[in-house]
A and B are shown apart, each in its own frame.
Chain A
Amino acid sequence: MSDMDMNRRNFLKTSVGAAAVALAPGMMLYSVAQAKSEGASSKVRWGMLIDTNQCKPGCNDCVTACNRENGLSGETKATDSQWIRKIEIKDISTGREISLPMMCQHCEHPPCVDVCPTNASMKRADGIVLVDKHRCIGCRYCMMACPYKARSFVHENVHDQNPDVPRGKGTVESCTLCVHRIDQGQQPACVEACSNKVILFGDLNDPNSAIAQKVQNVATTQLRADLKLNTGVRYQGL
């Protein structure tokens, strides 16, 4: 690059800086600190891979972390919300026992979205299935439509919610994949809490991501694959 170009560049740099400073205090040509995110992109497909071989029976760390993050009571009565559950299954013929976490599978074609009369049940561009509680009328059709029993209805008034996770009586809710954490570049609470590193979280559409590479190389299953919902949560070792 010639000297002349360098000078020109420096001149432009300093003059822009001067303009930004010279404006009245509190006024800037452009705002720097006002973060307004781009929003969910359809280029991304968030997903999880759960390695049931590593999942320890009796371990409840993911459930506890979810309850704490999302302000759930942790009770398991019929009227209590459960966003994630631990399930123990046994193959009777061989005696093999498997333990696995179950939650919203974040389907590509979610039945809960199909049946919702108010468009409250929705799929975000990046594949996260959510309930828009501003629109939810609490009819619970989605709970009946979900083949994974992943959704819960809030029966009683809620207090002391996490400021990032609004929850309220009369609406349906389920695993949000910790969308508030994802939008901040963090991992879901259950993934972070799992001491056995059972849950792998990432972008299924990004060929360089750990999850996409593992899905490509290892045999994985979708639960109730016969329904062709193309779930975002996959299981290994079933």
Chain B
Amino acid sequence: MKLLVSLLLTLCVSLAWAGETASPKLDIGKGGQCVEDTQWMRKNHMHLLKHGRDDALRRGIRDEKHSLKTCIECHASTKDNSVIARDDSFCVGCHKYEAVKLDCFECHSGTRKSAWLQQRGIK
């Protein structure tokens, strides 16, 4: 009986603790309706990107709907046009919270294309 009570107690405490934990506050950029359901994207965006990259690069099939560039176009901060510049930027915010290393931006730009063109004085 004691064991059961203590088990229940720990469960309740941990639940309460989990509820209080602050989830990351993200700068979601323009936001709005995502290309897929938000919850589904939280779980599966990496699969879209990983399959999409092989299709795009090796076979030339560019799925604009699910491309990294399209993600950035919508979700880059309206302040600095980036998904990686600050701790609450769209990609960095969650990845920091979940302690998952973010490799994409070693090579890929985290900036909106229009902003990049503006920086360089093109167009």
* Residue-wise interface mask of B (32-72) relative to A, using a CB-CB cutoff of 8 A (1 in contact, 0 not): 01000000000000000000011101111111110001001
Residue of A whose beta carbon sits closest to that of B64: A35
| Cβ-defined contact, B61 with A164, below 8 A | no
Give every chain B residue within 8 A of A133 (Cβ-Cβ): 107
Residue of B whose beta carbon sits closest to that of A128: B60
Least CB distance, A185 to chain B, in whole angstroms: 12
| Cβ-defined contact, A160 with B119, below 8 A | yes
Interface of A is mostly: loop
| Cβ-defined contact, B60 with A161, below 8 A | no
Least CB distance, A157 to chain B, in whole angstroms: 8
Interface residues of B (CB under 8 A from A): 33, 53-55, 57-65, 69, 72, 106-109, 111-113, 116, 119-120, 122
| Cβ-defined contact, B112 with A166, below 8 A | no
* Contact sample, A vs B, 23 pairs, CB 8 Å cutoff: A36-B63, A37-B60, A37-B61, A37-B62, A39-B55, A40-B59, A40-B60, A122-B58, A125-B60, A130-B57, A133-B107, A134-B57, A158-B107, A160-B111, A161-B108, A162-B109, A162-B116, A163-B72, A163-B109, A166-B108, A169-B106, A171-B107, A179-B60
Chain A contact patch, size range = 20 to 34
Interface residues of A (CB under 8 A from B): 26, 34-40, 68, 122, 124-126, 130, 132-134, 158, 160-164, 166-169, 171, 179, 183
